[in-house]
Structure formats: C-alpha cells, structure tokens
Structure 1
Amino acid sequence: MYVSTQGALAGKVALVAGATRGAGRAMAVELGAAGATVYATGRTTREKVSEVGRATETIEETAELVTAAGGTGIAVPVDHLEPEQVRALVERIEREQGRLDVLVNDVWGGEHLITFGKKSWEVNLENGLRMLRLGVETHLITSHYALPLLVRRPGGLVVEVTDGTEEFNKTFRENLFFDVTKNTPIRMAYGLAQELKEFGGTAVSISPGFLRSEQMLDHFGVTEENWRDAVEKEPHFAIAETPHYLGRAVAALAADPDRARWSGKSVSSGELAKVYGFTDLDGSRPDAMGYFRDVVFGGKEGTAADYR
C-alpha cells in the first residue's frame, strides 16, 4: 500500500548532482515535495549554457520548482568534472546545513556524443572518452567529496542514476563507450553499498524506463500533452514514463526507514512503484523494464498497455 512521502523528508538535506532537466530535475522536485532541502547542481544557468546546448532548462528554474513543491531549492552552478568546484559545493552544504542525507549522482549530458551502429574503433574516440568522463568520472569525484559529510549520520542514501538495470543491460547497448558508461554506476552502487554498510548507509542504482524527458519529447517532435503521437513513429514509446516517476521512486527510497534492503541492488522506477505503490503523473504504473524483458526481448505476447 502506498504511503505518501509528503513531509517525510522535512529536515533532511539532499544533493542532486545533475539537476538541470529530465530525471535530475524531477528527482530534485519530488525530494522537495517530501520536504527536503535540495541543492540542485548543473552547468546550465540563466547566464550560461553547457555543451548540451539547451538554454530552455536551468538549475535556477529547478530550484524554484523544488521550493514551489514544498521544499527548499538551492541552485549551485557546478561542473562535476572540476574537483575544486565539487569540494567547494560540499563545503558550502556543510557550512549552511551541517549535514547531507541524500546524494543523487545523476550527472550525464552525453546524448549528443552517442553514435549507434558503428564499431568501437569506428566511432569518434574523443566523443567516447568524453562520455566516460561525463557519466563515470563525475560520479566518482562527487562521491569522493560528498560521502565524508553523508556518513556523519547513519541512514545516508546514495542513488546512482543510470540508463538500464543490470538485467536490461545484459543486452549490448550498441555503442561500447555508452555501454560501459551506463553499466559502471550499477557496479558503483554495489561497491558503495559495501563501503557504506558500517556507517548505516545505503547505495542503490536506479534506472528509469523509456523516459519522456524534455530532450526525448523534442526528439520526437511532441510535447507532454500529445506524447502519444510519437508512438506511430516508435511503438515502444507507448510504455514511456515522465521523469517524475523516477523522482517519486527516489523520494520513496529516501523516506523508507527500511531502505537498506535495496542496498547494492539495481532497480527501476517501475519495480519500486510495485513495492511502494506510487504512480506516474497520469495515475498509471508503467513497468518498462518488464515490458522489454518479456515482450521485446522475450517474445511474449503482449502490448505496452499490459505493462501500464
């Protein structure tokens, strides 16, 4: 049975690294809706745009949405590839809050670097290595500086956000650099779970399903209001979910006093929805990973509607 997370994180402090848009923004907002103070970091501000090239979403806007949802949003421009910037960020959190309860490692921004359909020796090497830096090195740097503050109190939570669960990613992701980048956070969560155990901490790897992020909606030329129009072009988009589905999953994890049961595991938004009872914004409960496992890869008779 679903237990609302409203107010459950009052007094808690979260850092969502990579909260400019998409899943990062939604996780920050849903943590705020549960009452948390959320530091939202990223590279795109109202004055400066990152290499992603989208000026339409900023960390300031994310922080405002967090506050509007009921939490306290604090925007901090940070390039998580720059150790000194991350160190300064954590020092600021310590100075202003004296604690850190939730760390969400969601830094990415490498979609523009992916080339599918080519061998690892045929793709642009610089782009491939940049993907690894954006999706792996940033997570390691952030954890290095943030975890000493997080482990001061038992019960800390680290969420490693990636694309695909451990089960789903047994299927090659069609670009070796992308494959390695998105599998690494799964292993990081496993390793961090071992390191955090003696401090009463939990580390979990989590993946959305087919995400209706701002970039994905733009890719298909649709909006959140008419997203189903894209199903004709991409039938599997019928199982798509909003970023808030993942956000609610993370808020449920953070509010769960028994969250250690998930430590070291790789889970999806749809899997956690079955346990915690939350839904997507439209009231549905999509299980994209189950749909791909059974129908797309497993050959089972069924449609996306059967997994919503």
Structure 2
Amino acid sequence: MMTLDVDAVRAFVTIADLQSFTRAAEALGSTQGAISVKLKRLEERLDHRLIERTPRQVRLSAQGAVFLESARDFLCAHDRAIAALSSSRRHFALGIAAHVAGPEVPTLLARLNAHDPGLTIEVQLDTSRALLDAFDRGELDAAIIRREDDRRDGEVLGPEHFGWFAAPQFEHRQGEPLRLAALSPVCGVRDISTQALDAAGIAWTEVFLGGGSSVVTAAVSAGLAVSAFSCRLAPAGSVEVSQRFGLPPLPSSEIVLHSTLTDAKSREALRTLACAFREHRASSS
C-alpha cells in the first residue's frame, strides 16, 4: 500500500499556495533546496508531476490541481490527530478590520479550526487604525487590516478596490451637494472618499455619519445617499455610480496580515489563514 510523507505533502501544498519555492521555504522554516527535494520525492512516489516550474512562474500541473484538495484533507487529518494528543489549548487573538471583514471570515475561521482544533480563537472587529494600535501594544497576535499609511511590513493578502455605490433609484440633482453616507471620522474609506471629492471640486454633504456599517448600508440600500465601498462589500442590489454622476476614481489599497509570531505552529496557522483568504478571493472573483 502506498504511503505518503507528511512533510513532502506539506511542502507541495505550501508551494501551491504561495506559488513560490522561496516563499514556501521561508514559511516552513526550511531551504529552497530541501523543499525541492521533498517535492521531487513526492512526485516520484505518486509517479506524477505536480508542479510546473519555469524561470518566471510556478503553477500546478493538471495532476497537481487534482491532488491539491486531497493533500489538504490529508494534512488536516494528520494535524487533528496530533492535536488530539495534546491536552493544552492554545490561544490566538486575531483582529480583523470591520471594513475588511466580509464573506471570507467564516472560511478563515473554519480553516484555522480545521488546521488546529486545539486553538482557541479570539476575534476582535474594529477599524484598521484601532487594530494596528492594539497590535503594536501586543494585545493581538495577528491583525488583518487595510493598509492606510506607508507602513511596509506585513504580508499582502490581496488588493482592495473601491467604488461609489448607490441604489438604482438614487437621484442626485445637479447643482446640489452630493448626499453622502459615511462611517466614523476615523474611517480610512471616509477619508479617501471625501478627499477625492474635494480634489475634484464636487460639493458634498454627509447625511449619515458614524452610525456603523449597518446604518451606512441601510442608507445606501434605501436610496437616500451614495457611499464609497470596497467592491467586495458593496450592499446587495446597489450599483456602481461613478460614471453616472461623474464622481472621481478612488485609489486602491491592499489587505495586509500583520504578525510577530515566530514559533513554528503559530507560523503554520498564519500561513493557513493567509492561504484561506487568498483562495476565497480567487474563487469569488
């Protein structure tokens, strides 16, 4: 009966997730040469090429794409079996920016739990600025935020694009200030939207402010105002109205994972978190 080496399978999944031998080696605390050897042994064991590698690209082969989900299941079963032998529970404090949290969150938490059933996950939702401050104070083990300044550390999980959204029935009368619904004054999305309007010389007035994302979403859905949203998180039924009303383009940002954890098990949990986020975005794009 064929048996598989756990480390070799983990190397394959990490390469597939990060699309890089170098980054995979860093994530696993190994070297690029060792990762390559493990992959080669696994491919020889399965008698299939799993990864296609060129000077510019690392991607799954057809056989690798078929094997990937089974490989994930194999690793999850292994990790659950190991975790079951430990009576100690570990604690993980994770901050997720409220304006980043979306349909990915259940996937992230489910993947973390499957990866490490002995992990107690404490999730905190707040603005990116508040979470970054809490992270700097050591109150959070990791934080997923939207980049709002020139801080360069952290792992980029993906781009974040913004647009102007309103209900299809919303009307903006020419010559009147744009009716704007916005989050609190410390919200970065409010900053970029009002700055863009000011730079374009478009008059605006806030008719809903600081009531939380649910209030802003309700105001937009009811046709009472326009608001800037991440294109991932725009209210259901709303439409992008920048061309319709001549509104200025909004600059894109990035979603970033910050962490200072260094132990191997926590680093693996963070890699699982990052991969789950990327996978969900890719499947829903």
Q: Which has the larger radius of gyration?
A: 2
Relative contact order higher in (CA < 8 Å, ≥ 6 apart): 2
Same fold (TM over 0.5): no
Give TM-score scaled by structure 2 length: 0.29
Question: As a proportion of its length, which structure holds more helix?
Answer: 1
